Every structure is written in structure tokens, then in C-alpha cells.
Amino acid sequence: MREITSTALFGVMISLIAFEIGLMIQRKTKKSFLNPLLLAIAIVIFVLQAGKIPLENYNKGGQWIAFLMAPATVALAVPLYKNFELLKKHKWPIIIGIFTGCVTSVASILLLSKAFGLDKALSMSLIPKSVTTPIGIEISKQLGGIPEVTVLAIVVTGITGAIIAPFVCKLFKINDRVAMGIAIGTSSHVLGTTKAIEMGEIEGGMSGLAIGVSGLVTVIIAPAMVTISQYLIHL
């Protein structure tokens, strides 16, 4: 048994199987809070704990999945291509909406971190919470954050967005399909986009577009906003 669990194939297979089980449960129940990724995480943790399998063994395969996430980000260009005409038609509302969402996301973390007295490393780790994982990890490293904390923040943000997005849109009477997609993608990246795709093709396409653009915007504005916040603190 140890020979099997110590191979890279074990980490890859248990991750894929756990995610497929999560998908199956979500499709059968149709409950948004039963997010496939959340269920997969729980299943993997249970298997590792029950089998007393060291995390280092799992990571031999898990690191390959993490490695493939970076080139997979290139696929974000597909929604942009498919919805390019829609982008041109609504370019300024889309650009302004994504930029505003990114600024609000970073500013809220800086303000809440200050209010709750979080140390700098933890604060910097939370700043990229609303961008896709490969981009978020690099932003976290650039700012001096802790990548592992960043990944957790990104997962929690994405799952929360996927669960509450339809409710928020209904609560605030947001009916425009482009606006819904842009808001979901900007605030809750890929995991939120899975819900946007369920809501409709336009919502999914716009959400996918927002993932790539918001990642780029956050890369640019995050260091500048951190510098400005530190300057204001010392005034």
C-alpha cells in the first residue's frame, strides 16, 4: 500500500476521483452549496486522514496538478475570443466594472487587515483572493505573502461566490446578463464562473473574460495600492 501512495500517480488519481465524486453529488442534488471542489477537498482530506497517508506523499502528484494550472490559464483567452463582439459593444462598462471590482477587492483587504490588526505577511496573502490561482500565487510572492494562505483564500472566495452569486444578483435586481457575468468573474474567478456558466452562455463567457482581465489589472494595481496604503499609514 505504501508503495502505491508514495507515487506521484496516487496524488493525481485521488484528486481526479474526488473531484468526479463531487461533480456527481452536485449534479444529483443540484445544491449550489455542495460545490464539487469543496467536496473534493473534503474527500481528499478524509482519505489522507483515514489512510494515515503523509501530505508529502499526496503532494508528489498534487504538485503536478498545481504546475498544470499555470498553462491552463491560457485557456482564458477562449471566452474572450468567443465574446469579442460583445466585448467591443460594451467595452467601457466592462473595463470600468472590472477595474472598479479589482480596486474594491484590494482596498477592502487592506482596510480590514488594518482594522483587525493582521500582520503584513497575512495581509499580503489575502490581497489576490479574487483572482485565479496561478496569478494569485505570483502576486502573493511578489508582495511578500504566504502562497499557501493565498490558495486557501482564493478557494474560499471562489466557493462563496459560486454559492451566493445567484442570490446577490436577485437581491439587488441585477438582470443584465453581461453585468452578472462580469461581476461574478471579477469577484470569484474560476469557481464563480462555473456557476455563471450554469446561469447562461453570455454570463459564463463574460465571467471567463473577467477572470483574465481582472488578473491582469490586479497584477498592476495591487503593488501600487499597497505602497500607497503604507505611505498613508506613516503620514
Instruction: Give the HSE-up count for residue 11: Cα atoms under 13 Å, Cβ half-sphere.
Output: 16
Burial class (CB in 10 A: 0-12, 13-18, 19+), 192: buried
Residue 79 confidence (pLDDT) = 66
| Beta carbons of 181 and 207 less than 8 angstroms apart | yes
pLDDT-wise least confident of 43-52, 78-87, 144-153? 78-87
Phi, psi of 117 (to 5 degrees): 70, 35
Start-to-end C-alpha separation, the chain: 61
The grid coordinates listed for 73 are: 490559464
| CA gap 56, 45 in Å, rounded | 13
Residue 124: pLDDT above 90?
yes
For residue 33, what are the CA distances in angstroms to 104, 164, 166, 193, 194? 25, 9, 12, 15, 13
Q: pTM value?
A: 0.79
| CA gap 37, 159 in Å, rounded | 8
The grid coordinates listed for 182 are: 462580469
| CA gap 88, 154 in Å, rounded | 29
Interacting residues of 215 by C-beta distance below 8 A, sequence separation 6+: 73, 131, 132, 135, 136
The whole-chain average pLDDT of the chain stands at: 86
Residue 206 confidence (pLDDT) = 87
Residue 143 confidence (pLDDT) = 94
- State the pLDDT confidence band at 110, using cuts at 50, 70 and 90: very high
Question: What are the start-end ranges of the H helices in the chain?
Answer: 2-5, 8-29, 36-50, 55-72, 77-82, 84-89, 91-116, 120-126, 133-143, 147-171, 177-199, 201-233
